[in-house]
Amino acid sequence: MRESGDEWTGLMRLAISGDSAAYHRLLRAVTPVLRAGARRGLTRAGQPVDQSEDVVQDILLAVHLKRHTWDVNAPFAPWLFAIARNKLIDALRRRGRRVFVNIDDFAETIPDQPAAETASTNEVATLLKTLPPRQREVLQSIAVESASIRETATKFAMSEGAVRVALHRALAGLTAKLREG
C-alpha cells in the first residue's frame, strides 16, 4: 500500500502550501483507513465499535490542529498513524479501559466496510453546544449548511477574517473540550 502513502504525502504537501481542495481530498482518503483502525482498536479493548466515529473525528481534529508538526520532507503516513494511535489510547483511557493499542491497528489497509452511519448525537455534536454562540453559529453554517467562508460572513454580517478566526477558535475549542472530557 506504498502508493497510497505517497499519494497522501503529496496531497499534504499541497495542503500545506495552501491548496484546500487537496486537503479535503486527503482527509476523505484517510478517513476510511482511520475508521478501520479505530474499529480494530475498540474491538480489541472490548468496546462497542459504534464509538469508532467519535475516535475518527477526534483523530481528524488532532491531525488538523497539529499539522504544523509534520515535517514536509517526511512521509505522511507514519505521522498520521502516530496521531491516530495516540487518540485511540486517549479515547480508551477516557472510557476507563485498560489500554492496549496494537501497533498494527492503524496501517495502510483499505477497509472493506462502508463508511459508518454517524449518529447525530455523537461526542463532537454534544460538545458543539458548549461553544460560545458566535463560534457555534459559524461552525454550523460551514459544517452543516455547507456555506463558504464568504457566505457565512455575509449571513452574520461579519468580515471574512472574523469568520476564519471564529472557525479556528471553534475547532481548537472543541479539541480542548474533547481532551478534558
Least Å from the CB of residue 60 to other proteins: 6
Least Å from the CB of residue 142 to other proteins: 5
Least Å from the CB of residue 74 to other proteins: 8
Residues in contact with 157: Cβ distance below 8 Å, sequence separation at least 6, in sequence order: none
Binding site residues, other proteins, CB under 8 A: 15, 18-21, 23-24, 27-28, 31, 53, 56-57, 60-62, 64-71, 74, 78-79, 81-83, 85-86, 90, 115, 118, 120, 122, 124-125, 128, 139, 142-144, 146, 148-149, 164, 167-168, 171, 179
C-alpha cell of residue 10: 503529496
Q: Which amino acid is at 108?
A: E
Is-contact 106 91, C-beta < 8 A? no
| Identity of the residue, 46 or 92, whose beta carbon is nearer to other proteins in the bound complex | 92
Separation CA 90–CA 75 (nearest Å): 24
3-class state of residue 65 by DSSP: helix
Q: How many helices (H) and strands (E) does the chain have?
A: 8, 0
| Identity of the residue, 46 or 56, whose beta carbon is nearer to other proteins in the bound complex | 56
| Identity of the residue, 25 or 46, whose beta carbon is nearer to other proteins in the bound complex | 25
